[in-house]
């Protein structure tokens, strides 16, 4: 890992370059994290936040409001 100091505007910043696996310090898999609940895992699912349980859950359907803007 190499630390490279760069100046962005008037402030110093540190850019960290790494190779290989990077660990976030959480569980060994998503399902082991305390705020994730994965059941009946299937292909093409995504994690969606469930505010009633305060957990991320796997789901095959996504409901979202998308504003495409004005053109």
pLDDT (0 to 100) of residue 61? 82
User: Which residues lie across from 12 on neighbouring strands?
Assistant: 7
Which pLDDT score, from 0 to 100, does residue 52 have? 94
> Distances in Å between the alpha carbon of 50 and those of 35, 41, 55, 58?
10, 17, 6, 10
For 14-71, write each residue's pLDDT tens digit. 566 656 555 555 557 888 888 999 999 899 898 989 999 999 999 998 777 778 878 7
Q: Where are the domains positioned within the chain?
A: 30-65
Confidence at residue 69, expressed as pLDDT on a 0 to 100 scale: 79
Mean pLDDT of the chain: 75
């Amino acid at each position: 890992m190499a630390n490279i100091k760069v100046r962005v505007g008037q402030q110093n910043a540190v850019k960290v370059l790494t190779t290989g696996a990077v660990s976030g310090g959480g569980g060994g898999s998503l399902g082991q994290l305390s705020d994730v609940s994965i059941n009946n895992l299937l292909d093409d699912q995504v994690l969606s936040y469930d505010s009633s349980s305060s957990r991320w859950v796997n789901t095959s359907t996504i409901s979202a409001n998308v504003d495409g803007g004005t053109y």
